[in-house]
Structure 1
Amino acid sequence: MDFGFVFMGDCHIHGDVKFAEDHGFSHAWLYDSQMLGSEVYAALALCADRTSRIKLGPGVTNPASRIAPLSACGMATINELAPGRAIMGIGTGNTTRRTLGMPAAKVSELEEHVRICRDLFDGKITDYTEGDRHRKIKFLNPNLNYINIKDRIPIYISASGPKVAELAGKVADGVILFGAVHPELVKWMVGCVRKGAEQAGRDPDSVYVLSMTAFYLTQSDEEIETRAVREAVGPMVASSSNIFALSCHKDPTAIPGALRQDLMGFVDVYREPDAPIESRHLKLYEGYLQHLRDEHEKLMTKKIIQATTLTGTKQEVLGMIEAMRDCGVHQVAIQPIRPTREVVEQVAKEIMPKFAKK
């Protein structure tokens, strides 16, 4: 099992990324959300300059924030600064787009963006369209050390619903799950990925699977449904559950039955239908993934907390990770809510030794 860490897109985060690298973490993922944090490629460039082993990538970017050639150039630039350590994480932009009051990108737009980036990373001439103009493009100076496409850049697609998970299986090197901890959630998503891979004639086992989630160790006598626990992991629970619900709102039956009602209860947690449409998103996403909103607390049951986050006693959490591994997960990536280095140290000390490679 690999262990990654998920950071806000923060131009000052490079010190914490180096700290995670020094404690044995293999991957660092930075959120790409222009209304919530720093510009992700500027932050990743600083991380690349100050680290030597840890793999780096946006976790995740999307097709709507940048045109595909710009996304490809950003990733190839990070790959020049950190050769062989750059991984492109990309999804439909559920959060990023909604902080603008806009819908997530279409699956077809995601697929096209990935196609263009993959071709450019492979040094190919590829088709590029803007409006009714269709052109051929390629990187023109790949050998001048501005970018690096000699070292392969993997592409991982973020998925919280069947369509995007199948797309990941068809075209991506890996899939990023968000808040998938319960075996039923993991099996559901991994099953969709494998289906897509098989349809494309690919080996399903070749697709790398990681799950981003929160982490909190309780004492043996501590109840899960306490304010302290909810504040520590609640922002991740609300975000991931909302994205699962939005991804399946047209067909909730796609969600495993044991968790369907719990997850669909989060479908409207970032909506204010009575507020002005031009500005209602400004209030809803303030402090996103940083603080627990009072109105979300009643939804934070033990069941949903442990379905979407690594929360419980040390033995419970170790068991959760083992179950995730058995369901096909290759990496657990931790999103901290409380002080980052405290979480890094706790995971490195209490959890990672159990899964150290022999």
Structure 2
Amino acid sequence: MKKSNPEIWMITFPTPGAFAQLARMVEESGFDGIGLVDTQNLAADPYSELCLAAHATKHLKLRTAVTNPVTRHPAVTASAIATVHAESGGRATLGIGRGDSAVDKIGERAPSSKDFARYISQVQGFLRGEEVTLDNGYRSRNEWIVRGNLPKVPVDVAATGPRVIEVGAKLADSVTFAVGADPERLVWAVGHARKAREQAGLDPSTLKLGAFLNVVVHPDIARAREMARGTVGVIAHFSGMSRDSAAGMRPDDRAVAQKVGETYDMSRHTRADAGHAQFIDDAFVDRFAIAGPPAHCIQRFDAIRELGLDHLIIVGPGADVAPQDHMQTVRLFATEVLPALKSA
């Protein structure tokens, strides 16, 4: 298979008073896009900050990474992302998953895959300007989104297990896998998505595919592993939520993910000093993440580029990493790894 040159995105937190400047820096560093988490009890509102970034940048693509179907009505979600789309001249993407910290922090539960599919269908209908039948039976239409000459906002589903991958493949414009950086598991995810798209009577080639990748660039591989452990725990936790969620994993990694899922401490979300992180050994980090010196990271990316993915979303160090250390890893990625990916 011919190697792809995927778009490279960064994921970060919305930070009032600083995000517009950060977005400019990310654009100037050569990234294709930036994504903001949507977790209202831990961070500011992503849509407001994305609108500010829209005017602070010229070409940088903007997305939620990711929102959920619980904290906002589908009409509200559609209107919010359409606003970002309009303010940016068509650079927005709605990234959405079933929900994690945003849902947990208000005592709610993530919806079933069936309910998630219904929400995606409703949001897509609003974004297309169609009349949408809501859960209460009311028929509703957004009256302003269809105005102008911009294309419809793309909807991207963040997925780990087979059922959510199927929802995204059938109903969304793209799917971004949260399954780690092991090429073997990514091959499984790509195949499952394309098969589901085809079974839905749709052309698999019209579905864009990507991956969330835990990446920490540091000259000292031991330090890189430690800085990555917190966010590796987050995506491993997704794989440990149920038996189905671990599909495509090698047996030893499946056992780790299940332990992390059973013990995940949301009060120490994204942190390497959480109790569940004790199950994430160096071997797991080495397979599940891309962590180490620049040359090592570039070599790992070469294997992933063989998969033909359209976009890669870079997830950096955990919340317990000091800001100056976090920025060092970002600078190393931007100056040492990103140019190699772009020149390829």
TM above 0.5, yes or no, is yes
Where do residues 29-40 of structure 1 align in structure 2 (5 Å cutoff)? 29-40=35-46
Q: Structure 2 residue aligned with 1:288, among 263, 269, 275?
A: 269
Quick check: 1:179–1:236 contact (8 Å CA) kept in 2? no
Q: Structure 2 residue aligned with 1:122, among 128, 136, 141?
A: 128
Q: Deviations over 1:74-95 (max 9, x none)?
A: 0111111112101000110023
Inter-partner Cα distance in structure 2 for 1:182 and 1:143: 41
Partner of 1:82: 88
Q: Deviations over 1:281-331 (max 9, x none)?
A: xxx433522x32252443232221122221133232112212112123222
Quick check: 1:125–1:138 contact (8 Å CA) kept in 2? yes
Q: Deviations over 1:143-163 (max 9, x none)?
A: 77xxx6732210000101110
Moved more, 180-189 or 19-28: 180-189
Quick check: 2:129–2:146 contact (8 Å CA) kept in 1? no
Inter-partner Cα distance in structure 2 for 1:126 and 1:297: 43
Inter-partner Cα distance in structure 2 for 1:190 and 1:58: 22
Partner of 1:278: none
Residue 9 of structure 2 corresponds to residue 4 of structure 1: yes
Quick check: 2:214–2:316 contact (8 Å CA) kept in 1? yes
Q: Structure 2 residue aligned with 1:26, among 22, 25, 32?
A: 32
Partner of 1:156: 156
Where do residues 188-337 of structure 1 align in structure 2 (5 Å cutoff)? 188-219=188-219, 222=220, 224=221, 226=222, 228-246=223-241, 248-249=242-243, 255-270=249-264, 284-289=265-270, 291-337=271-317
Q: Deviations over 1:247-288 (max 9, x none)?
A: x33675664435222222212232xxxxxxxxxxxxx43352
Inter-partner Cα distance in structure 2 for 1:331 and 1:81: 23
Taking structure 1 as the reference length, what is the TM-score of the superposition?
0.85
Aligned residues: CA RMSD:
2.3
Q: Deviations over 1:207-256 (max 9, x none)?
A: 2222223322343xx4x4x4x3344111111111011110x336756644
Quick check: 2:122–2:134 contact (8 Å CA) kept in 1? yes
Matched positions, count: 332
Quick check: 1:230–1:300 contact (8 Å CA) kept in 2? no
Inter-partner Cα distance in structure 1 for 2:15 and 2:287: 28
Partner of 2:142: 139
How far apart are residue 100 of structure 1 and its match?
Answer: 2.6
Q: Residue type matched to 1:93 in 2?
A: G
Quick check: 2:239–2:246 contact (8 Å CA) kept in 1? no
CA separation of 1:66 and 1:319: change in aligned 2, threshold 3 A: same
Q: Residue type matched to 2:202 in 1?
A: R
Inter-partner Cα distance in structure 2 for 1:252 and 1:24: 34
> What secondary structure, in the 3-state scheme, does the structure 2 residue paired with 1:327 have?
coil
Give identity over the alignment, percent.
22
Q: Residue type matched to 1:34 in 2?
A: Q
How far apart are residue 23 of structure 1 and its match?
Answer: 0.8
> What secondary structure, in the 3-state scheme, does the structure 1 residue paired with 2:92 have?
coil
Q: Deviations over 1:174-200 (max 9, x none)?
A: 112225200122112212211211111
Partner of 2:3: none
Residue 153 of structure 2 corresponds to residue 173 of structure 1: no
List alignment gaps of at least 5 residues for structure 2.
1-5
> What secondary structure, in the 3-state scheme, does the structure 2 residue paired with 1:286 have?
helix
Moved more, 197-206 or 83-92: 197-206
